[in-house]
Chains A and B, each alone.
Chain A
Amino acid sequence: MKGQEDRFEPRLAQRRRNGKIFQAVCLSSIAFSVAMLVILLADVVRDGAAWLSFDFVSSFPSRIPARAGIKPAILGSLWVMLLVAALSFPFGVGAAIYLEEYAPRGRLRRLIQTNIANLAGVPSIVYGILGLAIFVRFFGFGRSILAGAATLSLLVLPVVIIAAQEAIRAVPSSLREAAYGVGATRWQVVRHHVLPVAMPGILTGMILSLSRAIGETAPVILVGALAFVAFTPSGPMDLFTVLPIQIFNWTARPQAEFHGLAAAAIIVLLIVLLLMNATAILLRNYYQSRRGD
């Protein structure tokens, strides 16, 4: 140790202090985020908890606050989510598989890739206009659940594709080589090895996308979701409303009671979201455990 003093200046105390400062900054960021969330939740629960009841979730909307409920909105949201998942999963994962496993590397692929990334940043209202023109009018879906779901699927597709691509890219090439090495075809490699390993990552992308879709309001308004629905939707071609629109509608009214109802609907929306995420996480864990790690 002797004789080294002049050749090194460890400044250990300062280095440790820097480490502590960085840790404190990180801690305060998370503390801030959590605090905001807690304040928001507390505010919503305070306003809405009193309105929550079995009647609230099982009644139709009404002019009289005490009798108003969100049954059609819940069912509408569930229908839309189901269809969004059913549409965006095959298209999104299919596109991702093609881009990662089949498409020749080149300018065209880069162009497509860049455009997908750009589409992820397009404002949702633009998708609403597109959905109105294509699904409602051109395909003649009308102001139906299917039109809303198709529009929201377009909206989340870029995110689903990008997340799935990342997950597929993260599958080690040694695994692909191993499968090719025993005489597997490309489809067999994808089906038996790439997809099962990529599935947890793909599902994470789906969770995020569905969470975004369930909270979207603007594009659904454009494709014609109604604010007042006095019946339960029974199929994809029915008229519909969704929770965010019901919430939006109630918050726009002057009476304080309706603000309480809106808060209660927000609580329900959050619960639906949590249940959806829980399902997706369970699915993801199932695939992860099957993967054996």
Chain B
Amino acid sequence: MNQSVAELDTALGTHDLSVWYGDTQAVKHITLDIPRNRVVAFIGPSGCGKSTLLRCFNRMNDLIPTARVEGEVNFRGQNLYADDVDPVEVRRRIGMVFQKPNPFPKSIYENVAFGLRINGFKGDLKEQVERSLRAAAIWDEVKDRLQDSALGLSGGQQQRLCIARALAVEPEILLMDEPASALDPIATSRIEDLIEDLKKDYTIVIVTHNMQQAARVSDFTAFLYIGELIEYGDTERLFTNPSEDRTEQYITGRFG
């Protein structure tokens, strides 16, 4: 069932997006659309700019003093890099899960409740924490020890807690920067199953080093190389019949 990005409703799109770190250009004039309620994977060798591109989507690059962004990231008809856009609001709408699980050194409950408190959540805090933990498929493992430190959880559990933390503030898009690269195969497969479940309610963009993972979890795949978008399209087609030589060389393991 090969499908085209153009036929689908767009959740977020970039237009001629470039990023510099000092004098080095990490992302070069990338234009692509992320379809709603789909999983898009960014693949490519180390240093190809896939993480940098991902971090543009919720203005995480703002935190790096030397980073400079040009071009547009459009979300709900608004350029996220326009002057009147507050990155704090962007990050609530577009959540992020990081490479290494990074729970707060607080209780499991507090990890999820923090985002709700700071954003002035008006509903039932406990209920929302439970719903988020359930959505991240970790509720059954932690429901009896919500007040224990999150640092006592295993790596895989910590990462699912981080996903719950991101989901709690009800984002529309979930960005995942190599979310399973620090985890063992069993924990990885749980995260992958979870991504499959979350697709129903969220648009997911995942950066991964692992091509099998991209093939397993994503609907669309973008291949980046030295800051450029080489190829972007239906995952199955891209892996079985890439149209670019460099894509084929990369996915068949001839470089990278």
**Bound Cα distance A183, B96 (Å):** 10
Among A17-25, A28-36, A116-124, A169-177, the one that faces the other chain is A169-177
**Bound Cα distance A174, B100 (Å):** 8
In contact, B149 and A181 (Cβ under 8 angstroms): no
In contact, A181 and B151 (Cβ under 8 angstroms): no
**Bound Cα distance A197, B103 (Å):** 13
Contacts of B169 in A (CB 8 A): 182-183
Contacts of B104 in A (CB 8 A): 175, 178-179, 193
- A185 located at the interface, meaning its Cβ lies under 8 Å from any Cβ of chain B in the complex: yes
- A9 located at the interface, meaning its Cβ lies under 8 Å from any Cβ of chain B in the complex: no
In contact, B102 and A182 (Cβ under 8 angstroms): no
| B108 CB to nearest chain A CB (Å) | 11
The contact string, 1 if C-beta is below 8 Å from chain B, for chain A 83-106, is 000000000000000000000110
Contacts of B119 in A (CB 8 A): 182-183
**Bound Cα distance A177, B107 (Å):** 18
Contacts of A67 in B (CB 8 A): none
In contact, B166 and A183 (Cβ under 8 angstroms): no
**Bound Cα distance A183, B91 (Å):** 5
Contacts of A291 in B (CB 8 A): 105
**Bound Cα distance A174, B114 (Å):** 16
In contact, A179 and B114 (Cβ under 8 angstroms): yes
- A58 located at the interface, meaning its Cβ lies under 8 Å from any Cβ of chain B in the complex: no
Range of interface residues on chain B? 20 to 34
- Also in contact, A183 and B89, with CB within 8 A (given A176-B63, A178-B162, A192-B114): yes
- B247 located at the interface, meaning its Cβ lies under 8 Å from any Cβ of chain A in the complex: no
Q: Which of A183, A188, A291 has the most CB of B within 10 A?
A: A183
- A274 located at the interface, meaning its Cβ lies under 8 Å from any Cβ of chain B in the complex: no
Identity of the chain B residue whose Cβ is nearest the Cβ of A193 in the assembled complex: B104
Contacts of B165 in A (CB 8 A): 178, 182
Identity of the chain A residue whose Cβ is nearest the Cβ of B99 in the assembled complex: A174
In contact, B88 and A185 (Cβ under 8 angstroms): yes
- A293 located at the interface, meaning its Cβ lies under 8 Å from any Cβ of chain B in the complex: yes
Contacts of A174 in B (CB 8 A): 98, 100, 102
Cβ < 8 Å to A, chain B residues 45-64:
58, 60, 63
Identity of the chain A residue whose Cβ is nearest the Cβ of B151 in the assembled complex: A292
- A184 located at the interface, meaning its Cβ lies under 8 Å from any Cβ of chain B in the complex: yes
- B200 located at the interface, meaning its Cβ lies under 8 Å from any Cβ of chain A in the complex: no
In contact, A182 and B98 (Cβ under 8 angstroms): no
Identity of the chain A residue whose Cβ is nearest the Cβ of B167 in the assembled complex: A182
Contacts of B115 in A (CB 8 A): 182-184
**Which 5 pairs, one residue from A and one from B, show the smallest C-beta to C-beta distance?**
A183-B92, A182-B115, A292-B149, A174-B102, A181-B96
> What residues make up the interface of A, taking CB atoms closer than 8 Å to B?
104-105, 172, 174-185, 188, 192-193, 197, 291-293
Besides the known contacts A104-B65, A193-B104, 17 further A-B residue pairs in the complex with CB atoms under 8 A apart: A174-B98, A174-B102, A177-B102, A178-B98, A178-B102, A178-B103, A178-B104, A181-B58, A181-B166, A182-B92, A182-B118, A182-B165, A182-B169, A184-B118, A292-B105, A292-B107, A292-B149
